[in-house]
Amino acid sequence: MLKKIKQLLAKIPLPMFQNPAPVVAILPLEGVIGSASRFSTALNLAGIEDNIKQAFEMSNVKAVALAVNSPGGSPVQSELIMRRIQKLSEEKKIPVYAFAEDVAASGGYLISLAADEIYAHEASIIGSIGVISAGFGFSKAIEKIGVERRVYAAGDNKSILDPFQPEKEKDIKLLKEMQKEIHEFFKDLVKERRGDRLKGTQKVMFSGQFWAGKEAQKLGLVDGIGDLHSVMKEKLGDKTKFKRIKEEKGFIKGLLGMRSGQLKISDEILSTLESRAQWGRFGL
């Protein structure tokens, strides 16, 4: 009797268990990139590491799609995020695809290099492979209002680029040497990840210039033009399911966030202005 029951059960079709729909985990990577101590809402590895792990551990996940919308920021945090995604992709044998939204520039483009393929919208802003340092000089302003700047330091270069003192040639030289090293690191990373797909000259691609989607495709900085859902359905089929990773915000975390905002309003204003400056470079 038991044998007959097993035979009958074996004949019952169970398509929903035999062929589950492929899942694409969407990992949002949005905002200015930096350490949490500098930008209160900055994108950094510590803040999104759990989200990255969750994307790769999702049930029946067949691909991870990076939804990138960032004007850049810290090169260190950019590479840390990129390498973490790349490592999990290799360990889990799950492909990664990056999709530029409004902008994937500078560190935002660096993060996209974690992907096996990069896609953009025709109007996406791509590139800005370079290094920038910007600030203000207040030496004339404090002189005008009668303020005396006093600096005491042990070490010849401890007070370089002090915004309240006149610029010095040797300080500028040191800064440019450091920028050159970081730029070389960025260029090497692009060449490592994009390889033979790069079509433009190094002089053009690594000049710090940025382009709209189609021109970026011609240069080999992206693999194609298309949106996340359309491209992934073309690769995995029309039955593909999409699950977006969301940051959990509990009640206690919300209260702490509110308190932090109340106590550090000046920090919030400064970080907002700096963030707006980053986005403003690309007209956004």
Tell me the pLDDT tens digit for each residue of 99-119: 999 999 999 999 999 999 999
Task: Tell me the per-residue pLDDT of 157-192, one tens digit each, with 9 for 90 and over.
Answer: 777 777 777 777 877 787 788 878 888 989 999 999
Identify the top-confidence range among 8-17, 201-210, 250-259: 201-210
User: Directed axis angle between helix 265-280 and helix 251-263, to 10°?
Assistant: 90
Is residue 238 a contact partner of residue 3, using CB atoms and an 8 Å limit? no
φ, ψ of residue 129 in degrees (nearest 5):
-80, 90
Query: Which DSSP state fits 196?
Result: G
Residue 277: the pLDDT is 61
Residue with tokens 């999702």: 58
Class in CATH terms, 20-128+209-284: alpha beta
Residue 118: the pLDDT is 98
Could you tell me how far CA 199 lies from the centroid of its own chain? 23
Query: Which DSSP state fits 43?
Result: B
Q: Which residues of the chain are in CATH 3.90.226.10 domains?
A: 20-128+209-284
Q: What tokens does 275 get?
A: 């963030």
φ, ψ of residue 102 in degrees (nearest 5):
-65, -45
3-state secondary structure of 67: strand
With CA atoms as reference, report the closest residue to 63 among 207, 209, 240: 240
